[in-house]
C-alpha cells in the first residue's frame, strides 16, 4: 500500500507538471504579439538590419554583448550573453544564411526578457537565475546578405566542424571550447515540403537529438537531448497536432550538431519547416519563441529528467511526401497517343533586388503515378485534358497595359502567356506580376512546346469538352467557375 500511495503521488505531481507546462505554453503563445520584434517582419533581413537591435542593448545591464569574430567578408559576428545561473546554454541561428526563423524569435525572446509585471516575472527569474544563455543570432551574415545557405566561400558551415576552413566555423568551435555549454540549440529552417511521416501534414517543426557516433549510441549527454525534445514536442502538439517531425539520426561526422554531442554538450537541433498560409514563417516564429522559453524553463528546473527518452522515437520521421500542387489523373496527349498521368509541381523562390525580395517559379518535378505522395493543394483532373495555353497576340510595352488585362476572360479563351517588351532588370514588372496572374515572356522567350514534362514550367490548361475548367499559371490554380486571384502568383521570365 505504501508503494502504491507513493506511486500515485508521483503520478499526480508529474501530471501537474505537464499541465503547468502546457498552461505556460498557451500563455506564451497568446502573449507573443507583445514581444514580437517589429523591425523584423519578413525573412530576408540582413546583417545591417539586426545591428540596431543589438546596439540598443549595449547599455542594458541584463546583457553582456561581445564581438566574437568576423565572417569571411568581414561582417561582425556577435554573441549576446544573458543570465547568471549554473546551467550554461548556447543557442545559435542562421549558420545557414537563408534560415532566419529562429533569428526573429531570438529578438522576440530578448524583448520578453526585458518585460516585467506581465504575469511572467517568475519565469524570467527562474530562467535568468538558473541559466546563462549565450546567443549567436546570425552566425553566417555573408550568407544572409545573399539569402543563401552557404557562406561567402561556398562552405556549408554545418559540414565544417572538423575541416574548420570557414572563419564562422572556427568561431563556433572556439565558443564551444571556451563556454563548454551544458546544452546547445542548433537552430535551422528546413524545406516546407517535408512531411511529418508519410502523411499530408507538413512538418512545421522538426527535431534531432544528434548522434555522436555511427552506432548511434545513447549516453547521458544524448539522453538529455531526447528527454528535452519529448517535453518540447508535447507543448507543440497542442498548436500543431501531427505536424512535428524527427530527422533520421544517422551520424554525420562533419556536422556541428553531432560533434557538439561528442564534445559533451547536450544538443537539440530544431528545424522550422512549413505551415499553411505562413510563407514568411511568422506563426512558426511564435512557435520557436514558445518552444525555446519553455525549454529554458525545463533546463532551469530539470523537469526534462522525468521524461521517457523512448518517447522520442514515437515522433514520426520526416518524409518527402509533399508537393505544392498535385494534378491527379489528367489526360495527356503526346505524339498522337493518349494516356493518364499525375503531375507534381513545386513553387521555388527566386531572389531579386539584392535578395530582399523574391518571386515563385513553378516547375513540374515529378510525373507519372504519384499515388504514394500528397499535395498541399490537389486537383482531381479525372476526365480533364491537359494542354498548353496560348500566347496573347499583342506584345505589351509597359506595366499599365498589363494591369488592364482581364485575366479571367483571357484564361477562358485559353491564354496563359503574355509577351512583354521590358528590360531584364525591370523590377517594376516583377512587382506587377504579383497583381496579375500571367506567365510573362520577355526578351524573345517562347513557351514550351508539347506536353509538359519534367522541368517544364507549371503553366497549362485543364479542359473538358474543349472548355477551360482550370488554368494553372506558375503552379497556382485558377478555377474558371469560381475565379479568385491573390498576390504573388504570376511570373516574369
* Range of weakest confidence among 33-37, 161-165, 359-363: 359-363
User: What's residue 450's pLDDT?
Assistant: 80
Q: What angle do CA 77, 80, 81 make, to 5 degrees?
A: 140
User: What's residue 432's pLDDT?
Assistant: 63
**Helix-, strand-, coil-residue percentages of the chain, each rounded to 5:** 30, 30, 40
- 152: cell is 561567402
Q: Confidence class of residue 443 from pLDDT cuts 50, 70 and 90?
A: confident
User: What's residue 312's pLDDT?
Assistant: 98
Q: For the structural domain made of 2-319, what CATH number should be given?
A: 3.40.630.10
- 175: cell is 565558443
User: What's residue 112's pLDDT?
Assistant: 98
- 398: cell is 509597359
Q: For the structural domain made of 323-492, what CATH number should be given?
A: 2.30.40.10
Give CB contacts under 8 A, 24+ apart, made by 36-40: 36/108, 36/111, 36/285, 36/286, 37/104, 37/107, 37/108, 37/110, 37/111, 39/107, 40/103, 40/104, 40/107
What are the residue ranges of helices labelled H in 210-357?
A: 220-237, 256-262, 282-301
User: What's residue 353's pLDDT?
Assistant: 84
- 109: cell is 525572446
Q: Confidence class of residue 435 from pLDDT cuts 50, 70 and 90?
A: low
Reply yes or no on whether the pLDDT at 10 is more than 60.
Answer: no
Beta pairing class for 87-93 and 131-136: parallel
Render pLDDT for 233-244 as a digit per residue (tens, 0 to 9): 999 999 999 999
Q: At what angle do helices 2-35 and 282-301 cross, to 10 degrees?
A: 140
User: What's residue 434's pLDDT?
Assistant: 60
Reply yes or no on whether the pLDDT at 425 is more than 80.
Answer: no
Task: Report the C-alpha gap between 42 and 180 in whole angstroms.
Answer: 33
C-beta separation of 389 from 415 below 8 A: yes
Q: Reduced to 3 states, what is the DSSP secondary structure of residue 91?
A: strand
Q: Confidence class of residue 8 from pLDDT cuts 50, 70 and 90?
A: very low
Reply yes or no on whether the pLDDT at 206 is more than 50.
Answer: yes
Q: Reduced to 3 states, what is the DSSP secondary structure of residue 479?
A: strand
Neighbour-count burial for 110-122, b at 16+ CB within 10 Å, e otherwise: bbbbeeeeeebee
Rounded to two decimals, what is the model's pTM? 0.91
- Name the residue with higher pLDDT: 239 or 352: 239
User: What's residue 359's pLDDT?
Assistant: 85
Task: Report the C-alpha gap between 154 and 161 in whole angstroms.
Answer: 15
* Residue ranges of the chain assigned to CATH 2.30.40.10: 323-492
* Residue ranges of the chain assigned to CATH 3.40.630.10: 2-319
Strand runs labelled E in 119-239: 131-136, 183-189, 195-196, 205-208
Task: Report the C-alpha gap between 351 and 216 in whole angstroms.
Answer: 39
Amino acid at each position: 500500500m505504501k508503494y502504491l500511495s507513493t506511486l500515485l503521488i508521483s503520478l499526480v505531481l508529474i501530471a501537474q507538471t505537464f499541465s503547468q507546462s502546457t498552461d505556460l505554453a498557451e500563455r506564451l503563445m497568446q502573449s507573443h504579439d507583445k514581444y514580437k520584434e517589429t523591425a523584423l517582419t519578413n525573412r530576408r533581413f540582413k546583417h545591417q538590419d539586426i545591428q540596431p537591435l543589438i546596439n540598443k542593448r549595449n547599455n542594458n545591464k541584463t546583457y553582456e554583448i561581445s564581438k566574437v569574430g568576423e565572417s569571411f567578408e568581414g561582417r561582425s559576428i556577435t554573441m549576446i550573453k544573458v543570465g547568471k545561473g549554473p546551467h550554461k546554454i548556447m543557442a545559435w541561428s542562421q549558420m545557414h544564411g537563408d534560415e532566419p526563423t529562429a533569428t526573429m524569435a531570438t529578438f522576440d525572446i530578448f524583448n520578453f526578457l526585458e518585460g516585467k509585471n506581465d504575469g511572467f516575472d517568475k519565469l524570467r527569474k527562474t530562467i535568468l537565475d538558473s541559466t546563462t544563455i549565450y546567443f549567436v543570432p546570425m552566425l553566417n551574415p555573408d550568407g544572409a546578405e545573399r539569402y543563401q545557405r552557404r557562406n561567402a566561400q561556398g562552405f556549408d558551415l554545418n559540414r565544417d566542424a572538423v575541416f574548420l576552413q570557414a572563419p564562422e566555423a572556427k568561431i563556433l568551435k572556439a565558443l564551444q571550447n571556451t563556454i563548454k555549454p551544458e546544452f546547445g540549440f542548433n537552430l535551422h529552417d528546413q524545406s516546407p515540403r517535408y512531411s511529418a511521416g508519410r502523411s499530408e501534414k507538413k512538418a512545421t517543426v522538426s527535431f534531432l537529438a544528434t548522434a555522436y557516433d555511427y552506432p548511434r549510441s545513447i549516453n547521458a549527454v544524448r539522453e538529455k537531448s531526447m528527454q528535452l525534445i519529448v517535453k518540447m514536442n508535447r507543448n507543440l502538439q497542442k498548436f500543431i497536432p501531427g505536424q512535428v517531425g524527427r530527422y533520421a539520426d544517422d551520424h554525420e561526422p562533419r556536422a556541428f550538431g553531432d560533434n557538439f554531442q561528442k564534445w559533451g554538450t547536450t544538443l537539440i537541433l530544431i528545424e522550422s519547416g512549413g505551415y499553411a498560409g505562413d510563407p514568411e514563417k511568422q506563426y512558426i516564429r511564435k512557435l520557436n519563441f514558445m518552444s525555446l522559453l519553455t525549454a529554458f524553463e525545463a533546463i532551469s528546473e530539470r523537469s526534462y529528467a522525468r521524461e521517457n527518452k523512448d518517447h522520442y522515437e514515437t515522433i514520426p520521421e520526416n518524409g518527402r511526401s509533399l508537393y505544392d500542387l498535385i494534378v491527379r489523373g489528367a489526360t495527356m496527349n503526346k505524339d498522337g497517343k493518349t494516356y493518364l498521368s499525375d503531375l507534381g509541381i513545386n513553387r521555388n523562390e527566386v531572389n531579386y533586388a539584392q535578395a530582399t525580395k523574391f518571386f515563385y517559379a513553378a516547375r513540374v518535378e515529378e510525373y507519372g503515378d504519384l499515388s504514394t505522395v500528397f499535395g498541399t493543394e490537389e486537383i482531381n483532373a479525372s476526365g480533364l485534358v491537359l494542354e498548353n495555353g496560348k500566347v496573347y497576340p499583342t506584345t505589351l510595352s509597359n506595366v499599365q497595359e498589363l494591369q488592364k488585362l482581364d485575366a479571367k476572360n483571357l484564361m477562358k479563351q485559353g491564354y496563359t502567356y503574355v509577351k512583354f517588351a521590358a528590360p531584364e532588370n525591370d523590377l517594376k514588372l516583377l512587382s506587377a506580376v504579383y497583381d496579375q496572374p500571367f506567365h510573362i515572356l520577355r526578351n524573345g522567350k517562347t513557351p514550351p512546346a508539347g506536353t509538359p514534362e519534367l522541368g517544364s514550367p507549371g503553366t497549362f490548361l485543364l479542359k473538358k469538352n474543349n472548355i477551360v475548367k482550370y488554368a494553372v499559371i506558375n503552379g497556382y490554380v485558377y478555377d474558371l467557375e469560381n475565379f479568385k486571384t491573390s498576390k504573388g502568383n504570376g511570373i516574369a521570365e
